[in-house]
Amino acid sequence: MAIRSFFVPFLLFALCFNSSLTPVLSLYEDQVGLMDWHQQYIGKVKQAVFSTQKTGRRRVIVSTEENVIASLDLRHGEIFWRHLLGSNDVIDGIDIGLGKYVITLSSGGSILRSWNLPDGQMVWESFLQGPKHSKSLLLVPTNLKIEKDNVIVVFSNGRLHAVSCIDGEVLWNKDFEAESFEVQQVIQPPGSDLIYVVGFAASSQFEMYQINARNGELLKHESETFSSGFFREVSLVSSETVAALDSTGSILLTISFQNGEISFQQTPISNLVEDSSGPAVIIPSSVPGIFAIKTNAITIFIRVIGKGKLEVVETTNHETAVSNALPISEGQQAFALVQHAGSEIHLAVKLAHDWDGNLLKESIKMDQQRGLVHKVFINNYIRTDRSHGFRVLIVMEDHSLLLLQQGAVVWSREDGLASIIDVTASELPVERDGVSVAKVEHNLFEWLKGHMLKLKGTLMLASPEDVAAIQSMRLKSSEKSKMTRDHNGFRKLLIVLTRAGKLFALHTGDGRIVWSHLLRSLHKSEACKSPIGLNMYQWQVPHHHALDENPSVLVISRCGPSSGAPGVLSFVDAYTGKELNSLSLVHAVVQVIPLPYTDSTEQRLHLLIDSDKHAHLYPKSSEALGIFKREFSNIYWYSVEELDGIIKGHALKCKCTGEVADEFCFDTRDLWSVVFPSESEKIIATVTRKSNEVVHTQAKVIADQDVMYKYISRNLLFVATVAPKGSGEIGSVTPEESWLVVYLIDTVTGRILHRVTHHGAQGPVHAVFSENWVVYHYFNLRAHRYEMSVIEIYDQSRADNKDVWKLVLGKHNLTSPISLFSRPEVITKSQSYFFTHSVKAIAVTSTAKGITSKQLLIGTIGDQVLALDKRFLDPRRSVNPTQAEKEEGIIPLTDSLPIIPQSYVTHALRVEGLRGILTVPAKLESTTLVFAHGVDLFFTQLAPSRTYDSLTEDFSYALLLLTIVALVAAIFVTWRLSERKELQDKWR
Amino acid sequence: MDTIKVVVAILLTFSLFSFHSFGFQSDELLVDDEEFGLEGAPQPRFPEPTSTRSAPVTTATRKRHSDLDSDSKIEFSLDHAFGDSDFAPAGTFSARIKTWSHGGQTLTKLRFSRNNFTNEEQKNFKNLLESDDFYRIRLPSNVLSPPGRNFIISSVKARCLPREGLDEHFVIHMEGVNVLAVNYGSPGSCPYPRNLKLPVKWSFSSYTVLKNSEQAPRAPIFTEEILGGENGGGEVVQPPERSFWAKYWMYLIPLGLIIMNAITQAMNMPEEQVTGQVPAQGQPSAGAVQRGPSSAARRR
């Protein structure tokens, strides 16, 4: 209910007086959740393990591609506990040991950890080393014991380890040093003391090692050569048989190593299925007696009967996913099979030895926007009638996680939101007339009641129930989650592109998903095997004359990981999430340049640069071409070749020549280049200003009534390079060998406007560029601390315009156009400070008009967002500022930047795995919207100079009304009194 | 631990030193920009910002002569291109390489001799001027083994160059013997819109500046002693005494307004009474006088 005040100028004036005080940004406890929301995710599930013990029955342990291990509630899908391992600590396997420990193997098999199942506390951690890199396999046998110790068997880095489940101690280990040995499976037949390690050597030799599980003694080693070689993976059929494919993918091999004797049985796939074509791949599964292969679009399930005899049990051309096997009773194992059929999925639970009979068969309606089923995990429970019930956890193409039970989706988690690639904000539709007024009148009584409650709260008369009522009323305020535009601009849509190729629209009011859309263009298809979403741009932002149109966003994606792969464009309506159009391009998309021009329907012109350095104009319309032609000679861009250490500037030349006769294709030319010497400099960071940033004033008035002119150019590029030696981790080099050079480069002419070297400094460098300043963060090896530096750049060519008379008589050059081809006359000011934290991301607040002072938003290593006033990073700070400087608001110089605990924007919360911070200006000048994303999402509103232009949320209108009424009453009473008195005076 | 102590001690002394000498300037020796105007060339007519001002050649080189170890002369060529044409030689830079005792090499005494335009080139350049196209130049990225890794390209709209003759300005950013970038353009401004203007004489006057990287100012390091020393010194900078007006304008203006208001009121009042009372009593008198009879009348 912030109402824009009519006293803005007055308040601004008041603010000027207040600005010398450090604004306190903290939040009261009862304000948490009023304007901010926080959502927790885990990412795409890689592996799920169900706890079978009594206490843990309601839980499932998952590991994800975001390197999260989490314990989820099976009833509701909530997170019990969660740990985010570092980005280089990839989880290889998880399992449950002794029913109460979660065992994780990570970091390429070199770290084994145990976590307490109920609360997620770490119990122990062991580091496993080995002679060489290899596949990592984790095996937790249920009943293998060495001296009452339960054992975990780990194969990692070319070594087999047996680790105690209790304390993580390595009981024995055994090296597999044979050069080319590639481990495929580690098998522990239940009830025996043997471990089989099988794998390939030299790609055509099958090796089998039999090892005593008690002491790691090698009992038997057999190898057999198969002339045509093997193809990647094997599938375990039984504890003494595996299935594999030959290197051409056309012959099936069943390899049995019973009693240490290896024998091959070959079966050409064409014998089993007639119309098979192309090489097959094995689908990894662990169902005993059955394995699955896939050729083209057909999935074939094959049963192994007896000695190497194969039998096809089912062929299907639907998309199919198979779960792991689940032992349900003595000798019986069940597994789940999920198949797609139109808008439904069919779930079947079967026994391993009985393909035709179904324990369970269900059809579940599935949202088309979730795509295909990628993974299935099965779990059983005892029904009320004592029979077996099954529930399955499925992972969908959009990375969401669903629990199916009794033919329904019990819960779902949108874990695609844990891997956001790009974010952009969109306005909501304008409110139509006659919607809200009636609602307000209807709720007039409620409204008054609410304000009375607030008044009570203000006057400290409220009872605890009242306080609770006030709090819940504030949190549930329907105002903030409406689907229409508000006049303060707080309500917006955040359009989010995830790694799964799904677009989500989140409402800024409460963070709910307004719509989601799995991009068709990002679907796997014949033409495009592995599409990758890259970026998102605002394609159409209607305002003024084109208000009837819905805004739309442009999603750029690419077929395949190489930068030369052809691009795909999709245009998506921001209100409904409908894909308006999608274009498969013939050319690649290396760079996208949104141009500052729009056509009559407010579609923004974009220039796409392909790998052959042709520029393509979109939208492909004659109107756009006309606009483009007018500005043809004023379009410049740059490209950074990080590997070569070259930055180049480009301009347009002429229409494309050659085979493609296309009006919208243009040749380009190189205008300038900056070549960093490869032996001394390596580019590690490049930052530009945000293209939509608004700068309120170019002039900056400094203490002694002097004016400095900010050098504001949209074409400035900040580049940081380090010594190639020093590009590794912090501490890997001595200060003498390491330096950091930063540049400010004009991207039209290639001029280096500023260049400065920090000796003894090292990356990683995080930087933010805004207005005429850049702030960057790096490590100082000499001081053993992180440092932040600021560079401000000022224009000297306008410095003569200080004379008032010149301005009055019009003899100034303030309105003359600036050409970057003129020699720039700039001066820079810079200063460095120590900073305690290492940083994950830096952003800066942005407001509608750029009047409000700025704050830096620093994503700290603790996954929190810290707001730091830009005034702390003012190069004009000095130890003893003069009185005039103090009045201006210059803070005395300190060697390090203060971290005020109250200025954490995220207050008590953490945005796990923080990757990016986005700021969006609200319509209200004082306020900016902040969205931080990583594995978690966090959104809040910030007012860097407090809300000087509106009344606060908890402003008591009732109190105001009451005061007015009281005043009016007092006026009447005194008037009456004075009348009477005067009358008496007259009669005297 | 000892090393840390030593480092701390060094830092302390450094910071002490820096405090007493410059306030918060870095105490490290800033290597002078190696900037030399072209010898024999006319001094630039346009005022240059201090950072790129051509240093007097002789003093700078003499200073260097004392500590240089070896000297060798090198040459590298400047190529140019008209619009999208191929590059052709346009001139030669010659310089001395100075090898420092610590192994680094830098260029000094940069001279530039430019070839005059041939008729063909003159025609090409005229075409460029007419079509407002780019005049491009390039330098090798390594002066010892040209072209090094790649060529350094720079370009400018041809219409920016002509004045009397053709004026050009090079700022060559060096890193040892590597050329990092070259900023090429007119020595002054090049106002937009660019008008077509042919040069009177077809000869170049060139200004060249060599630039090396600057040292960043170090983060200030405060310690207890230094702060104590500062306070003990008692050298508190007195704020400059401001005028009476500057101090109290905020009181003076309302005061002035009030006074003015009062004056106008005082001026208006007699008039009102004149107009209000004359027809009734025909007795022009001051307000104070007037009030007497009226109150007397009321008492009646």
Q: What is the pLDDT of residue A837?
A: 87
| Interchain pair B190, A822: CB under 8 A | yes
pLDDT above 70 coverage of chain A, percent: 91
Average per-residue pLDDT for chain A: 84
Q: What is the pLDDT of residue A139?
A: 87
Q: What is the pLDDT of residue A238?
A: 79
A823: amino acid identity, one letter? R
Q: What is the pLDDT of residue A821?
A: 84
Does residue A761 or residue B46 have the better pLDDT?
Answer: A761
Confidence of residue B289 (pLDDT cuts 50, 70, 90): very low
What are the DSSP calls for B161-208, one per residue? SBSSSEEEEEEEEEETTEEEEEEEE-SS--PSSPPP---SS--EEEEE
Q: What is the pLDDT of residue A13?
A: 39
| Interchain pair B7, A782: CB under 8 A | yes
A421 three-class SS: strand
**Contact with chain B for residue A755, Cβ under 8 A:** yes
The mean pLDDT value for A53-64 works out to 79
In chain B, where do the E strands start and end? 70-82, 88-99, 105-114, 134-140, 151-157, 166-175, 178-185, 204-211, 214-215
- Which helix (H) or strand (E) segment holds residue A309: the answer is strand A309-316
Q: What is the pLDDT of residue A166?
A: 87
Residue A602: which of A527, A538, A533 has the closest Cα? Answer: A538
What lies within 8 Å, CB to CB, of A452 at 6+ separation is: A958
- Has residue A319 got a pLDDT over 90? no
**Contact with chain B for residue A655, Cβ under 8 A:** no
A882 vs chain B: nearest CA distance in angstroms? 6
CA distance A242 to A655: 61
**Contact with chain B for residue A957, Cβ under 8 A:** no
Burial class (CB in 10 A: 0-12, 13-18, 19+), A658: exposed
CA distance B230 to A345: 78
Q: What is the pLDDT of residues A333-361, one digit of tens each?
A: 888 888 888 888 899 888 888 888 888 88
Residue A212 Cα to chain centre, angstroms: 46
- DSSP type of residue A5: -
Question: Do residues A116 and A104 lie in contact, with contact meaning Cβ atoms separated by under 8 Å?
Answer: no
Question: Do residues B149 and A678 lie in contact, with contact meaning Cβ atoms separated by under 8 Å?
Answer: yes
- Has residue A844 got a pLDDT over 90? yes
- Has residue A32 got a pLDDT over 70? yes
User: Does the pTM exceed 0.90?
Assistant: no
- Has residue A96 got a pLDDT over 80? yes
Best A631, A639, A674 residue to mutate vs chain B (most B CBs within 10 Å): A674
Best B54, B195, B210, B213 residue to mutate vs chain A (most A CBs within 10 Å): B213
Q: What is the pLDDT of residue B231?
A: 43
- Has residue A243 got a pLDDT over 70? yes
Residue A426: which of A547, A517, A501, A508 has the closest Cα? Answer: A508
Residue of B nearest to A881 (CA): B237
Confidence of residue B8 (pLDDT cuts 50, 70, 90): very low
Residue of B nearest to A753 (CA): B183
**Contact with chain B for residue A751, Cβ under 8 A:** yes
What are the DSSP calls for A35-103, one per residue? S-EEE----SEEEEEE--SSTTTTEEEEEETTSEEEEEETTT--EEEEEE--TT--EEEEEEETTTEEE
CA distance B217 to A64: 45
A907: amino acid identity, one letter? H
**Contact with chain B for residue A477, Cβ under 8 A:** no
| Neighboring chain A residues of B211 at a CB cutoff of 8 Å | 752, 755
Cross-strand partners of B99: B70, B105
Q: What is the pLDDT of residue A547?
A: 64
- Which helix (H) or strand (E) segment holds residue B220: the answer is none
Q: What is the pLDDT of residues A360-396, one digit of tens each?
A: 888 998 888 888 888 999 988 888 888 888 889 999 9
| Interchain pair B189, A797: CB under 8 A | yes
Q: Is the peptide bond before A764 cis (omega within 30 degrees of 0)?
A: yes
The mean pLDDT value for A314-327 works out to 82
CA distance A721 to A763: 9
Question: Do residues A502 and A492 lie in contact, with contact meaning Cβ atoms separated by under 8 Å?
Answer: no
**Dihedral angle sign, alpha carbons of residues A39, A42, A43, A49:** negative
Confidence of residue A328 (pLDDT cuts 50, 70, 90): confident
Residue A244 Cα to chain centre, angstroms: 38
Does residue B259 or residue A312 have the better pLDDT?
Answer: B259
| Interchain pair A883, B186: CB under 8 A | no
- DSSP type of residue A912: T
Tokens of B142: 């390594």
Confidence of residue A917 (pLDDT cuts 50, 70, 90): very high
Q: What is the pLDDT of residue B298?
A: 43
A156 three-class SS: strand
Residue of A nearest to B211 (CA): A755
Confidence of residue A411 (pLDDT cuts 50, 70, 90): very high
| Interchain pair A893, B156: CB under 8 A | no
Name which of A564-568, A750-754, B137-141 the model is least confident about.
Answer: A564-568
Name which of A235-244, A774-783, B26-35, B111-120 the model is least confident about.
Answer: B26-35
CA distance B121 to B199: 14
Q: What is the pLDDT of residues A738-769, one digit of tens each?
A: 899 999 999 999 999 999 999 989 889 999 99
Residue of B nearest to A832 (CA): B219
- Closest to B191 (Cβ–Cβ): which among A675, A756, A819? A819
- Has residue A709 got a pLDDT over 80? yes
Q: From its phi and psi, is residue A313 left (phi > 0), alpha (psi between -120 and 50) or beta?
A: alpha
Best A613, A745, A747, A823 residue to mutate vs chain B (most B CBs within 10 Å): A823
Q: What is the pLDDT of residue A395?
A: 93
Question: Do residues A944 and A23 lie in contact, with contact meaning Cβ atoms separated by under 8 Å?
Answer: yes
What lies within 8 Å, CB to CB, of A442 at 6+ separation is: none
A782 vs chain B: nearest CA distance in angstroms? 8
Q: What is the pLDDT of residues A609-632, one digit of tens each?
A: 988 888 999 888 889 999 998 888
Residue of A nearest to B194 (CA): A819
Confidence of residue B132 (pLDDT cuts 50, 70, 90): confident
- Has residue A22 got a pLDDT over 60? no
Report for A534-548, A961-975, B241-255: range of highest mean pLDDT: A961-975
- Has residue A658 got a pLDDT over 90? no
B165 vs chain A: nearest CA distance in angstroms? 17
What lies within 8 Å, CB to CB, of A252 at 6+ separation is: A243, A244, A245, A266, A267, A268, A269, A272, A280, A293, A302, A310
B222 three-class SS: coil
Confidence of residue A856 (pLDDT cuts 50, 70, 90): very high
- Has residue B65 got a pLDDT over 70? no
pLDDT above 70 coverage of chain B, percent: 59
The mean pLDDT value for A105-131 works out to 90
CA distance A958 to A854: 34
Residue A674: which of A652, A651, A644 has the closest Cα? Answer: A644
Name which of A524-528, A551-555, A592-596, A926-930 the model is least confident about.
Answer: A524-528
Confidence of residue A659 (pLDDT cuts 50, 70, 90): low
| Interchain pair A750, B134: CB under 8 A | no
Question: Do residues A477 and A491 lie in contact, with contact meaning Cβ atoms separated by under 8 Å?
Answer: no
CA distance A390 to A410: 13
Q: What is the pLDDT of residue A954?
A: 66
Name which of A161-165, A790-794, B5-9 the model is least confident about.
Answer: B5-9
Tokens of B14: 């450094």
| Interchain pair B239, A827: CB under 8 A | no
Cross-strand partners of B136: B81, B155
Q: What is the pLDDT of residue A217?
A: 86
- Has residue A3 got a pLDDT over 50? no
Q: State the count of interchain CB pairs (< 8 A) between A and B.
A: 164
Residue A455: which of A963, A970, A965, A3 has the closest Cα? Answer: A963
- Closest to B152 (Cβ–Cβ): which among A673, A878, A882? A673
User: Greatest CA separation found in chain A?
Assistant: 134
Residue A598: which of A624, A564, A571 has the closest Cα? Answer: A624
- Has residue B58 got a pLDDT over 70? no
| Interchain pair A822, B189: CB under 8 A | yes
Confidence of residue A932 (pLDDT cuts 50, 70, 90): very high
- Closest to B216 (Cβ–Cβ): which among A681, A789, A816? A789
Report for A90-104, A159-173, A383-397, A924-938: range of highest mean pLDDT: A924-938
The mean pLDDT value for A307-332 works out to 80
Residue of A nearest to B134 (CA): A671
Residue of A nearest to B82 (CA): A671
- Closest to B213 (Cβ–Cβ): which among A741, A751, A827? A741
What lies within 8 Å, CB to CB, of A378 at 6+ separation is: A323, A324, A326, A334, A335, A336, A349, A390, A391, A392, A393
Q: What is the pLDDT of residue A811?
A: 64
- Has residue A20 got a pLDDT over 80? no
Name which of A657-671, B52-66, B237-251 the model is least confident about.
Answer: B52-66
CB atoms within 10 A of CB A448: 13
CA distance A782 to A731: 10
| Neighboring chain B residues of A878 at a CB cutoff of 8 Å | 23-24
CA distance A887 to A948: 20
Confidence of residue A600 (pLDDT cuts 50, 70, 90): confident
- Has residue B99 got a pLDDT over 90? no
Q: What is the pLDDT of residues A183-202, one digit of tens each?
A: 888 888 877 888 888 888 87
**Contact with chain B for residue A787, Cβ under 8 A:** yes
Pairing between β-strand A646-655 and β-strand A636-641 as defined by DSSP bridges? antiparallel
| Interchain pair B181, A818: CB under 8 A | no
Question: Do residues A926 and A949 lie in contact, with contact meaning Cβ atoms separated by under 8 Å?
Answer: yes
| Interchain pair B219, A826: CB under 8 A | no
Name which of A102-106, A305-309, A568-572 the model is least confident about.
Answer: A305-309
Confidence of residue A544 (pLDDT cuts 50, 70, 90): low
B180 vs chain A: nearest CA distance in angstroms? 5
Tokens of A384: 């009320």
Residue of A nearest to B52 (CA): A825
A742 vs chain B: nearest CA distance in angstroms? 9
Name which of A524-538, B37-51, B215-229 the model is least confident about.
Answer: B37-51
| Interchain pair A757, B153: CB under 8 A | no
Q: What is the pLDDT of residue A660?
A: 61
